[in-house]
Structure 1
């Protein structure tokens, strides 16, 4: 039985352990949860009651229902509270003067608005919490409820809902401004919150699914605002395009205080790791808006104790591990409520008619409400025009069967009225449709030379007041929302008009395009592509400028830039490809290159310089992406075409030959590739001279070709000469110089000079990290070479842990099936086998063998060499006959493709000799060991660690045949040389002294 007293005159000391029902509009949930948190900390019980009674229920009845609960009722008054329904002011006044006045001792209120409240709210004696700090707000709350002040009786820990609503999360990133007219969806939002809070463990991922225009983005934004007090970090990621998505997600790194450079891959890795650990902030919400491509989910989805919210049209998110929540159209009461709040002159019946006509589709209702709220058009006239499909003189362009005729008509009414009253707004709107949908950087108009604008559009640059009025008009009519975020390399606290952006829904974008005339579309698309060209930073190699390229890239195709005849626009398109290559956005680049080729084929002959440059960039991307055969076919066709021309440009021939040589290296045609690369270098020396950038690149590639053929000493001489020249001309910190440094370190390691290789590679990695960042593709390659150098040098260091970490980072940047990642998978598998983890070794080696076979085909030298690694795993597992089969197959296959003297062939021979010995074929093992040692001395030198391994192996075979005298001499020579070359304590030397049979593990390398 409830014995609490509610008389107004009771003393504060009597108010202990009371029960309060906090009644609030869903829009103000953060305030309700904070009030509950504070009251509970003072020892009271609280029930939260979200309140939005149907308009059909009399207000007095709805308020009377609240009295059924025990305890006092605290109303959280706000603009929204009195718009629920919506209900007329008179109905509110009647209810307040009636049932609330009658039970005044049960009701109290707090006020969250600075507007004048209804007169009858005086009965509630609301206390004003508007614009005060947390301590003062708590003091006022307690005083109004006549509760004891002072310290809390049982302080509650910080957690969901505990943050004061006026205090934002520690990190709040690019979330769209809160829609003050957001309507309904309370049940959906609560279901979403329940899913997140009830998730068992780990990251909770939820995808909001629905057709375009249904309100997914608005719902995600409202969730972020409404539940912001539950989180320390809230970060919004525009995911319309992969490049934009990766850039934006990576921008969270500096906001979290992470020193992760500027390269997107490295930033993403750092962000995911920080979120997974949760050490900086444990409560986080990441929102990916418009993410339809589930293929890259594993690359971006963070793990940890936070929440991920996705908006998408792709129903396959459930297969990617997300909980799917369908977003339907408005319920009818939500539709009518929204219309009546936005256009107060509408009656309930009129709102119902409009909702019926527009099918309760939120985006259609938004535009209709904006028009009916701003204009004085009679509702009956509006409905007649919509029903009759009257397009006011505008003939929609193209097929519009996927868009309701009512939506087209509604937008037609708005656009034509704006043409009459505010033509500048229509011009700005048409400009926006020449961009892609989503985020539109319209402020870029200010980087254009004024002379490139038609005279009647000069106001876009010169008349800022007109610009502002036009923009405000379109925002007021809900055509788009305003965004402002500085994407320049230097952050600005007060970005100017050139950083101004808007967000235009794809459905609105599509409708307005179809209602525009072809001549207008052509004019504005030409303007936008010139804007893009003017905004091109001109240096796609500079990672600090990549955010700008990511911002511009989605608008190339919609603006017609890919098929432009303008030289500067074409150069920007090529720069976008260069950006994709340097930043590692290979998939995006491959698609973009094909789109450009489709357009340019109609503009240029195949031998035109523009087409040749396109081929170079496309080939680079395809090669880096692992599509070696596609790159080869593209480059071979170009070279054949140029060779057939009687007056082919010598420089173009040289470039095309260089591209094809690169393809041949990746396809395993090492000898032919080296021959062609020598041609390229000779041509470069003749045409450009020894110090030209292109000549040095040709020289560097010659070193790559020599290395692939196992001619390590020759490669080192070439690479060292290239390095010295680049250091002199380009300086030590240039990316090309760093590339030469890596090449020299790799040569030294393959030559057996492990300590020299390690010293050079350690310096190279430090510079790579400083200049390019730790996750740049070139840095990852350098770090890979570093762990291999550390392993060969016998450094007492947990190389396995370093490999595991590096593998995770490589997978993040390249994907698991990329050739660079596969190389590390194999090297890590070899390390695991060497250190006794046969289970993991078998898994990794099988993955590498399968991956390379799929990528390169079974006959490629790398695919064949992988058989030797498989044999080592089988041999370690005791499956000696099966291991020998693998060794012999690798030896035969590589001998056929590379010849008997290639170091890879010698390595397979070393393993095959061991396999023969272990299976009792002793004479055959000794013969193979003796021949392998002879060849290794000729190819690698007498003191190369591999040669000494061959000597140790021969001694073992001689002992097995009881040739003890010769075995002793051979073994003693090997031990002395190993101690002199590597040091007596090197693992290789110690293993030889213990008479452990040496082996050779294959390190995949494609150049």
Structure 2
């Protein structure tokens, strides 16, 4: 076969079996791998040899060692290659001139740089591969090794490395390659081995170690060095949960997996795509600074061929994650790094500096930058750090770093700050400004967008003197105090206002303490101003969520939480609204509590801003399932407002509405309905029937009616609200979709299954189009659709598969113990029980019941009703006495909590009558069945499916008591009604015709 890249190439075998030793510095492993694979494809026997000879070994001796291998020695050259050791250029030139010429036939080279190489490298006649395509690079390689007459390349077995000059298909915000990166080759190879050798689906490696030990740099170097082995390389800053979710979810957009902007959906589709290996098989995902291992299950793509790399100080990552301990540099790495950055430093001096700083990479970087940039003599530098030059700032605060770092390290930072004060005062001002942000990614360029009024006079150069700004930024980067953020390249092209930098956590802490006296509050005020200015002011718009995720970490360090400024407080409230609409309930609840603590010091509980805060905080607590906390907050607010003569009516309206919502979730249905009627009446008086507040109040009123079992009245309220919202907001507005979903639910509960299904199918399509498939509201609508399909007997796909998928998605979006997840757990368990998988059904129902009891307590309709589902499990297992006991407990509890005529109580009574029948208590069964049928006819109507189930059950009980005449009349009437209302082939009708005892699944519903 002729290779298309080499048309006309001879099929003859090579003249000789060439042996080639490919010698490379670790920095160029990707090139060495490609060169080796290409040579092997042409029949050569190629061997990889990472070469990093000890500085103490003579260079000619080290080169001579390479010649011990048979065949040619192919050196992979760049300017980096000649810094191995490190060695002086004169030594390299001398050895290349003296040692290589007499052995020239054994040496060959390729050149990977456009920088000028040492003059003596001409003796190696390097083939220049810089900036050429793969085909041309291969041609030049073969020509240099005299292999141009070789046969066509054979296909390679196993994975093939991509040509290093070809970009990765998807490259996501990996920090720029650190050209000063030194050593760590063994560690990098260990990481690769751990990821490659892991069982499929378990390729997760955590780099753990103390702060400043170089974990992030190591992960970044791994991404660059081994990038040809991957099609996707994606970097996720994980020091904040919300930014981690946003960044990981952005990969879904990059891979064109979804158009949704909802983080939960994006995360799910990314994990699924990585697990399936679509659209790319080879992916590397790096989670940087991830400390919360409990969240791992929500992100890690278990299954497939993806590799995951984590950097963390937390060592508890579980048995399925390979943990690699990252220690400091070995001494040779420290000295090599220092001598490269500061060429005037001798080997012995480099050794002394490394010993002084205990080979900690972060401190070595700072020392090397200071020595290299300033040209200070190493002896003078060591004298100063050992002498403990006086430091500004809080000495007591700085002492906390002495647990892991030496006194000399802190003094070195002090020396740097003092030098910059004299030579680059603007750099110190910019550095102090950065320390008023949180560590990590800092959008410092936003400061240039501030107006002159928002900047103190001494900092007005920031937005007026671009050259000074640029010089200050470059100074701090050159001194290794800051680094450009992973997106900095793009942002720098967009302009200084978009520049973002990265500040290591440790550097941030030390610098902050060293600059404590530099008018810290002034800098924090500037940061507060720029954060407020950057507020998109549209927290419900998912397109603004990445910006809020970027701003959120900096609220606390900047002092925004305690600010009394209107703009800053508006920003805080908008951030809470973002947390609520974006599903970041945990982050939002913590933020709201910290805001409350701060605002309470300057504002009373009835201050307008505090009232708005209470609304947002209560919404977040309620949405996350913390109902009692929300109730305590809202009830205290309403009580205070009611005690104030002439209290603001709108504030009273909001407080009453929030408390009614809390009561609905807590099972106080009658009290909630009474309050909600007050809300609707007040809203109509204040705003009229068509205003959004009134329509929301009506929507919530229907929810309250539904909870007390008044389904028809709830439907009439919902349909009116839906019509008004369709007119005012149009059909695709989220509020309109919510009303449509409520109408479909009402119709299903009323037994009008086909109407409910038709409406819900349309509603789900619109939810997916407007909010995305994984938005929490869409998941709820899809759950309702499954129930509509089941009740209508019209499932279009395997219901079990759909429910299992919904369960996974709900867990991903809200967590396993969230009330919406528990609802899916329940319905999935009921389905599995019905179709024979009793063991799994039992586990799911037990988990859901326990979850509801923890969430709601004992005396609540939902955990009480869950007992009837437990009873159905026991009945399916043949434990009829135990099942009856559960049915009776559920019935007694629901009669107390909801009353005898509530539809949920009637459903439990249907099951209890069946339990009595199955245990031989026939008279009691018939008595309960007759009473239940009578009540159901009054409450639900004669043709409701629940009523007809009660009628079929009574017929079965009478038949067991030998009363065939009445049983026959009841059964025949029920069969006719079922055929007329549901259809003769509906599962309910077929079961009744086959005389299968009807039962009722409890469907948990909150709020």
Whether TM exceeds 0.5 here: the answer is: yes
Once the two structures are TM-superposed, the CA of residue 494 in structure 1 deviates from its matched residue by: 5.2
Q: Which residue of 1 aligns with 2:505?
A: 506
Q: Which residue of 2 aligns with 1:8?
A: none
Q: Which residue of 1 aligns with 2:456?
A: 454
Q: Which residue of 2 aligns with 1:1002?
A: 1002
Describe the superposition over 1:208-246 as per-residue Cα deviations: whole angstroms up to 9, x where unpaired: 001111100000000000000110100000001000000
From 465, 475, 489, the equivalent of 1:473 is 475
Which of 637-646 and 64-73 deviates more? 637-646
Q: Which residue of 2 aligns with 1:187?
A: 186
Q: Which residue of 1 aligns with 2:864?
A: 864
Q: How does 1:436-455 map to 2 (within 5 A)?
A: 436-455=438-457
Cα separation, 2, equivalents of 1:151 and 1:695: 81
State the SS of the aligned residue for 1:557. coil
Once the two structures are TM-superposed, the CA of residue 14 in structure 1 deviates from its matched residue by: 5.8
Q: Which residue of 2 aligns with 1:73?
A: 73
Cα separation, 1, equivalents of 2:912 and 2:626: 33
Q: Which residue of 2 aligns with 1:743?
A: 742
From 432, 435, 450, the equivalent of 2:434 is 432
Once the two structures are TM-superposed, the CA of residue 152 in structure 1 deviates from its matched residue by: 3.1
Once the two structures are TM-superposed, the CA of residue 259 in structure 1 deviates from its matched residue by: 2.2
Indicate how the Cα distance of structure 1 residues 96 and 128 shifts in structure 2: closer, same or farther if over 3 A, else same: same
State the SS of the aligned residue for 2:287. strand
State the SS of the aligned residue for 1:398. helix
Q: Which residue of 1 aligns with 2:954?
A: 954
Indicate how the Cα distance of structure 1 residues 452 and 201 shifts in structure 2: closer, same or farther if over 3 A, else same: same
State the SS of the aligned residue for 1:285. strand
Cα separation, 2, equivalents of 1:570 and 1:447: 20
Describe the superposition over 1:245-284 as per-residue Cα deviations: whole angstroms up to 9, x where unpaired: 0000000012112124111111111111111101311111
Cα separation, 2, equivalents of 1:495 and 1:808: 40
Cα separation, 2, equivalents of 1:995 and 1:494: 75
Once the two structures are TM-superposed, the CA of residue 645 in structure 1 deviates from its matched residue by: 2.7
Q: Which residue of 1 aligns with 2:567?
A: 568
State the SS of the aligned residue for 2:400. coil
Say if 1:13 and 1:148, in contact at 8 Å, map to a contact too.
Answer: no
1:136 aligns with 2:131: no
Q: Which residue of 1 aligns with 2:8?
A: none
Describe the superposition over 1:116-155 as per-residue Cα deviations: whole angstroms up to 9, x where unpaired: 2223222222111111111111111111111135663312
Cα separation, 1, equivalents of 2:581 and 2:274: 27
Q: Which residue of 2 aligns with 1:673?
A: 672
Once the two structures are TM-superposed, the CA of residue 556 in structure 1 deviates from its matched residue by: 0.8
Q: Which residue of 1 aligns with 2:880?
A: 880
Say if 1:397 and 1:515, in contact at 8 Å, map to a contact too.
Answer: no
Say if 2:719 and 2:743, in contact at 8 Å, map to a contact too.
Answer: yes
Say if 1:881 and 1:919, in contact at 8 Å, map to a contact too.
Answer: yes
Cα separation, 2, equivalents of 1:209 and 1:865: 48
Cα separation, 1, equivalents of 2:16 and 2:713: 88
Which of 847-856 and 397-406 deviates more? 397-406
Describe the superposition over 1:179-227 as per-residue Cα deviations: whole angstroms up to 9, x where unpaired: 0000111111010011111112223000000111110000000000000
Cα separation, 1, equivalents of 2:100 and 2:488: 50
Cα separation, 1, equivalents of 2:488 and 2:922: 73
Describe the superposition over 1:567-615 as per-residue Cα deviations: whole angstroms up to 9, x where unpaired: 1101110111110110111111111111111111112111111111111
Cα separation, 1, equivalents of 2:45 and 2:266: 45
Say if 2:450 and 2:533, in contact at 8 Å, map to a contact too.
Answer: yes
State the SS of the aligned residue for 1:108. strand
Say if 2:667 and 2:861, in contact at 8 Å, map to a contact too.
Answer: yes
Say if 2:246 and 2:549, in contact at 8 Å, map to a contact too.
Answer: yes
Cα separation, 2, equivalents of 1:113 and 1:540: 48
Q: Which residue of 2 aligns with 1:172?
A: 171
State the SS of the aligned residue for 2:401. coil
State the SS of the aligned residue for 1:309. strand
Once the two structures are TM-superposed, the CA of residue 315 in structure 1 deviates from its matched residue by: 1.3
Indicate how the Cα distance of structure 1 residues 397 and 517 shifts in structure 2: closer, same or farther if over 3 A, else same: farther
Indicate how the Cα distance of structure 1 residues 99 and 484 shifts in structure 2: closer, same or farther if over 3 A, else same: closer
Q: Which residue of 1 aligns with 2:777?
A: 778
Say if 2:111 and 2:130, in contact at 8 Å, map to a contact too.
Answer: yes
Q: Which residue of 2 aligns with 1:416?
A: 418
Q: How does 1:32-111 map to 2 (within 5 A)?
A: 32-111=32-111
Once the two structures are TM-superposed, the CA of residue 629 in structure 1 deviates from its matched residue by: 1.4
1:973 aligns with 2:960: no
Once the two structures are TM-superposed, the CA of residue 391 in structure 1 deviates from its matched residue by: 3.5
State the SS of the aligned residue for 2:205. strand
Say if 1:143 and 1:149, in contact at 8 Å, map to a contact too.
Answer: no
What are the ranges of 5 or more consecutive residues in structure 2 without an aligned counterpart? 1-11
Say if 1:288 and 1:310, in contact at 8 Å, map to a contact too.
Answer: yes
State the SS of the aligned residue for 2:163. coil
Describe the superposition over 1:726-763 as per-residue Cα deviations: whole angstroms up to 9, x where unpaired: 12222222111111111111111101111111111111
Once the two structures are TM-superposed, the CA of residue 859 in structure 1 deviates from its matched residue by: 2.2
Indicate how the Cα distance of structure 1 residues 835 and 962 shifts in structure 2: closer, same or farther if over 3 A, else same: same
Which of 438-447 and 703-712 deviates more? 438-447
Cα separation, 2, equivalents of 1:35 and 1:673: 74
Once the two structures are TM-superposed, the CA of residue 46 in structure 1 deviates from its matched residue by: 1.2
1:921 aligns with 2:925: no
Once the two structures are TM-superposed, the CA of residue 493 in structure 1 deviates from its matched residue by: 11
Which of 441-450 and 419-428 deviates more? 441-450
Say if 1:53 and 1:62, in contact at 8 Å, map to a contact too.
Answer: yes
State the SS of the aligned residue for 2:738. helix
Describe the superposition over 1:313-349 as per-residue Cα deviations: whole angstroms up to 9, x where unpaired: 1111135x31111111111111111000000000011
Once the two structures are TM-superposed, the CA of residue 99 in structure 1 deviates from its matched residue by: 3.5
Which of 929-938 and 119-128 deviates more? 119-128
Q: Which residue of 2 aligns with 1:407?
A: 409
Say if 1:430 and 1:520, in contact at 8 Å, map to a contact too.
Answer: no
Indicate how the Cα distance of structure 1 residues 852 and 393 shifts in structure 2: closer, same or farther if over 3 A, else same: closer
Cα separation, 1, equivalents of 2:80 and 2:649: 73
Say if 1:625 and 1:818, in contact at 8 Å, map to a contact too.
Answer: yes
Say if 2:871 and 2:884, in contact at 8 Å, map to a contact too.
Answer: yes
Q: How does 1:297-696 map to 2 (within 5 A)?
A: 297-303=296-302, 304-318=304-318, 321-391=320-390, 396=395, 398-403=397-402, 404-483=406-485, 485=487, 495-696=494-695
Cα separation, 2, equivalents of 1:14 and 1:157: 20
Once the two structures are TM-superposed, the CA of residue 647 in structure 1 deviates from its matched residue by: 4.0
What are the ranges of 5 or more consecutive residues in structure 1 without an aligned counterpart? 1-11
1:145 aligns with 2:145: yes
TM-score by length of 1: 0.96
Say if 1:16 and 1:43, in contact at 8 Å, map to a contact too.
Answer: no
Task: Give the aligned CA root-mean-square deviation in angstroms.
Answer: 1.7
Say if 1:665 and 1:705, in contact at 8 Å, map to a contact too.
Answer: yes
Say if 1:678 and 1:702, in contact at 8 Å, map to a contact too.
Answer: yes
Once the two structures are TM-superposed, the CA of residue 659 in structure 1 deviates from its matched residue by: 1.3
Once the two structures are TM-superposed, the CA of residue 501 in structure 1 deviates from its matched residue by: 0.8
Once the two structures are TM-superposed, the CA of residue 66 in structure 1 deviates from its matched residue by: 1.4
Q: Which residue of 1 aligns with 2:4?
A: none
Say if 1:830 and 1:1001, in contact at 8 Å, map to a contact too.
Answer: yes
Once the two structures are TM-superposed, the CA of residue 484 in structure 1 deviates from its matched residue by: 6.2
Which of 769-778 and 731-740 deviates more? 731-740
Once the two structures are TM-superposed, the CA of residue 13 in structure 1 deviates from its matched residue by: 7.7
Q: Which residue of 1 aligns with 2:855?
A: 855
Q: Which residue of 2 aligns with 1:265?
A: 264
Describe the superposition over 1:523-571 as per-residue Cα deviations: whole angstroms up to 9, x where unpaired: 1111111111111111111111111111111111111111111111011
Cα separation, 2, equivalents of 1:484 and 1:877: 58
Which of 398-407 and 896-905 deviates more? 398-407
Indicate how the Cα distance of structure 1 residues 1002 and 547 shifts in structure 2: closer, same or farther if over 3 A, else same: same
Cα separation, 2, equivalents of 1:520 and 1:105: 68
State the SS of the aligned residue for 2:441. strand
State the SS of the aligned residue for 1:402. helix
Cα separation, 2, equivalents of 1:316 and 1:100: 52
Cα separation, 2, equivalents of 1:190 and 1:140: 29
Once the two structures are TM-superposed, the CA of residue 158 in structure 1 deviates from its matched residue by: 7.2
Say if 2:715 and 2:747, in contact at 8 Å, map to a contact too.
Answer: yes
